Amino acid sequence: MAIIFSKEITDLYPAYNDSYINFKSSQFDDIKYTEITTPMFSKPFRIYPDLNGDFQFNLKEIAKVHINENGFEDNHQLPIGFFEILDDRILNLELDFYMSNTFDFEDDFPNEEDLTKSFTFFKSVKQVDEVVFNNNQQILSKSKNGIDYTLTHFEGFPFFFELQKVNEDDEIKIINVQTGDDATFTASTSGTSRIWIDKGNENTTTTGLLPLTDTVNRLNIYNNGSFKTNLNLKKVPSKCGVYLKWYNDDGGYNFYLFDKFYRSSTSSKSIAEATRNEFKNLDESPNSFSYSIGKEVTKDLRVKTNVSNDELFYLKSILSSPSIQLYTSETPFVNGKWITVNVDGSIDEKKKKNINEIIINIELPIQYTMNY
C-alpha cells in the first residue's frame, strides 16, 4: 500500500506562493476522503477526490501560519561576532495523510492508507516570471541567476547579508578578490546564516576581519571549499542620511541610505470633542461650547535618492515589503534604534541613463500626546 504523489513542491519552496500537491491511492479505487493533520491545528483538513480518485491540496495557508509566528520585523539583537545562524526562515512542515473508503457513520470494514510526509518551505514569495533557485547558499536579495548579486553598503550604518541555508558544521569562506583578504565562519547549527559587514560602531574593515575598499568589492563565497555565490558589494564612505531596512520578497533584508536633505511635515487631528455647559445666560459670553479631548499627531518624511540600475533591481521591493524599519540615527557610527514605519512612493526608472530617482513618503509612528 502507498499514497502516490503526482505533483509535489521543490525543496525550500516559497511559503507565500500557491503550493499544490496531487496524490492518490495506489491500492484502492474507492477512497472517499483524505484527512491531513498538522500539529498546529486541532482538527484535520478533510478533502475529497475528483471522479478519477485524485486528490489536490494547497499547502500555502498551512505553511504561512506555521512560518510567520513572529511576523516580518527583524527582532534579532546584535551578535558578539560577525556571523550568526537564524531559525525563523525555514519551515520543515510534517503532515500526516490518512485515506479511507468509508465515512465515520458507516459500519463497513474500511480500506485505509496513511503516510507521514515532510515539505520544506522558505519565508519568501516569487513572481510568475521568477525562478526558484536551487542554490542553498544564495543571498537573500534579488538576482537573475541565484549566483551573482549586487548590494550597496553605507559605512557606519548597520549592514548584513544572508545566505538562505547552511548545515551544521559547514565552513563558509568569503574572499575579497580586490584585496586578497578572506574570512572563514563555521556554522554551529543548521539554518539561515547572517553575515555582518557593519554593526554601526564596528565593521569588518576596522576590525581587520574582512577589509573592504571604498569601491566595489567582489566577494566570492565558498561552502566547504566549493564556490557558491558572488557578491559585488559597493562600499560608500560614511555620510549622513535617512537609513531604511525592509523585508524583501526573497526572504531577507535590504538596506539603503536616502539623501540627508528631506521634507518633513507634521499634521494633527482631534480625537473627539466633548460638549460642556457653562451655565451662563444669553447676555453672558460663553468661552466655548465644546473642547477637544486630545489630538492625534502624525509626522511624515519625504525622502529621495538617485540609484543605479543594479541598485534599483533590489530597491523596487521596498514598495511591496510587509515590514519597513527606519534607523533613528541619521549620522554614521552613532547608534540608533529601528522603528517600524509605513512607506509609499514612486520610482522613475531610466534604464538608458543608469540614473533612477526614487521618491518615497515615510509615515512615522503616531506621536505621543497628552489627552483626557
Partnered with residue 7 across adjacent β-strands are 22
Mean pLDDT of 95-101: 92
- Residues 16 and 248: their CA atoms lie apart, in Å, by 12
Per-residue pLDDT reduced to its tens digit, 239-275: 999 999 999 999 999 999 999 877 776 766 666 666 6
Q: With cut-offs at 50, 70 and 90, classify the pLDDT of residue 289.
A: low
- What global pTM score does this model have? 0.87
Read off the C-alpha cell for 156.
557606519
DSSP string, 241-304: -EEEEEE-TTSSEEEEEE-S--EEEEEEEES-EEE------TTS--S-SEEES-EEEEEEEEEE
Total number of residues shown for the chain = 372
Q: What is the Cα–Cα distance from 57 to 194, expressed in whole angstroms?
A: 34
Distance CA 181, CA 196 (A): 16
**CA–CA distance from 176 to each of 198, 204, 209, 227 (Å)?**
16, 12, 11, 13
Q: In terms of C-beta density within 10 A (0-12 exposed, 13-18 middle, 19 or more buried), how is residue 168 classed? A: exposed
pLDDT of 105 higher than 60: no
Fold of the 3-77+91-122 domain: Immunoglobulin-like (2.60.40)
Task: List, for residues 123-170, the tens digit of each pLDDT value.
Answer: 999 999 899 999 999 999 999 999 999 999 999 999 999 999 999 999
pLDDT at 277 over 80: no
Diameter over CA atoms, the chain: 96
For residue range 201-224, list pLDDT tens digits in order.
Answer: 999 999 999 999 999 999 999 999
Distance from chain centroid for Cα 306 = 24
The angle formed by the CA atoms of residues 271, 274 and 275, to the nearest 5 degrees, is: 155
pLDDT-based confidence at 28, cuts 50/70/90? confident
Bridge partners (DSSP) of residue 326 are 244, 339
Q: How far apart are CA 35 and CA 45, in angstroms?
A: 5
Model confidence pLDDT, tens digit, residues 59-81: 999 999 999 988 898 988 899 99
Start-end of H helices in the chain: 60-67, 309-315
Model confidence at 300, pLDDT cuts 50, 70, 90, reads confident
Same topology between domain 3-77+91-122 and domain 133-238: yes
Is 1 a residue whose pLDDT tops 60? Answer: no
- The pLDDT assigned to 349 comes to 75
Just give the CATH number of 133-238. Answer: 2.60.40
As a whole number of angstroms, the distance between CA 90 and CA 69 comes to: 12
Mean pLDDT score of the chain, rounded to an integer? 89
Q: Where are the domains of the chain?
A: 3-77+91-122, 133-238, 239-372
DSSP-based three-state secondary structure for 316? helix
- Has residue 120 got a pLDDT over 60? yes
Average pLDDT over residues 86-91: 95
CA distances in angstroms from 163 to 187, 192, 219, listed in the order given: 12, 6, 13
pLDDT (mean) for 99-121: 79
For residue 286, what pLDDT is reported? 61
Instruction: Please spell the DSSP secondary structure of 116-173, one letter per residue.
Output: EEEEEEES----TT------TT-BSS--SSSSEEEEEEETTS-EEEEEEEE-TTPEEE
Better pLDDT: 261 or 227: 227
Span 314-365, pLDDT tens digits:
999 999 999 999 999 999 999 999 999 999 887 777 766 778 888 888 988 7
Amino acid identity, residue 327?
A: Y
